[in-house]
Amino acid sequence: MQHQTLPHAARSRTSSLVVAAALAAAFSALPAVAQPAGAQPSSGGMSTGTATARNAGDSKSQLQRADEGMLRDIAQANLAEIETGRIALDKSKDERVRKFAQQMIDDHSTAMKDVEQLAQAKGFKLPDGPDLKHKTVATALKALSGETFDKQYMSQAGVGDHKRTHDLLQKTQRNAKDADLKALAAKMLPVVHGHLTEAEQLAPTKKR
């Protein structure tokens, strides 16, 4: 059976490529906004925690349906950055990547507190963890290591996710009916823009 066994290095490289491809596919499937404005949430594309949050918020939320969706999406974006940042601290050996990851944890944890305060003030229950798509991305990242991990983390969570979050915040600032939600988006935009700029500067160094 020796002729059927790949060398260890080839097996490892093949495994990394498969996981990286799956990760890229998972990120490409993430929409700029998880729920279209005013749309009914779909149980098929939502985690159980998010569905529970939607139902719990129906009876007392002071927000319009579209504003609830935008606030929920902002919360999911922050939770995802915190989660992937923790994974990067655990797996990366590159000090530049680790520094970026720690900044993501710190800044998005601060932003998440603002999101939680607004949700509480408006009587809207937020999800208590990342949604299914972001969980899939986190699982794929955990399967990578070394430079492959660094490259995927910086290009996907660093650049890709922050582009989507930047678009989401701009849309919220334009379209939200609630003045406090608009103000939250305006407060977060320059921070996210800074993250995106830093990620774009760092990501090319991981392509060598």
Quick check: is 99 in a domain?
A: yes
Render pLDDT for 122-181 as a digit per residue (tens, 0 to 9).
Answer: 999 998 888 888 889 899 999 999 999 999 999 999 999 999 999 999 999 999 999 999
Quick check: is 18 in a domain?
A: no
Quick check: is 10 in a domain?
A: no
27, 154 in Cβ contact below 8 A?
A: no
In this predicted structure, what is the pLDDT of residue 26? 55
Q: Using a CB cutoff of 8 Å and minimum separation of 24, what contacts does 150-153 make?
A: 150/92, 150/94, 150/97, 150/206, 151/203, 151/206, 151/207, 152/20, 152/23, 152/24, 153/84, 153/87, 153/88, 153/92, 153/97, 153/101
26, 137 in Cβ contact below 8 A?
A: yes
Render pLDDT for 50-100 as a digit per residue (tens, 0 to 9).
Answer: 333 444 444 588 999 999 999 999 999 999 999 999 999 999 999 999 999
Domain count within the chain: 1
Quick check: is 146 in a domain?
A: yes
Quick check: is 38 in a domain?
A: no
Query: Which H/E stretch holds residue 15?
Result: helix 8-28
Q: Which two tokens stand for residue 145?
A: 């290591």
Q: Rounded to the nearest 10 degrees, what angle do helices 132-142 and 65-91 cross at?
A: 10
In this predicted structure, what is the pLDDT of residue 126? 94
Q: What is the pTM of this model?
A: 0.72
Quick check: is 54 in a domain?
A: no
In this predicted structure, what is the pLDDT of residue 35? 39
CA distance 115 to 78: 9
Contacts of 1 (CB under 8 A, 6+ apart): none
Q: Distances from the Cα of 137 to the Cαs of 31, 64, 74, 102, in angstroms?
A: 13, 30, 17, 19
Quick check: is 55 in a domain?
A: no
For residue 99, what is the domain's CATH number?
1.20.1260.10
In this predicted structure, what is the pLDDT of residue 205? 58
Quick check: is 12 in a domain?
A: no
Residue-range definition of the domain harbouring residue 154: 65-208
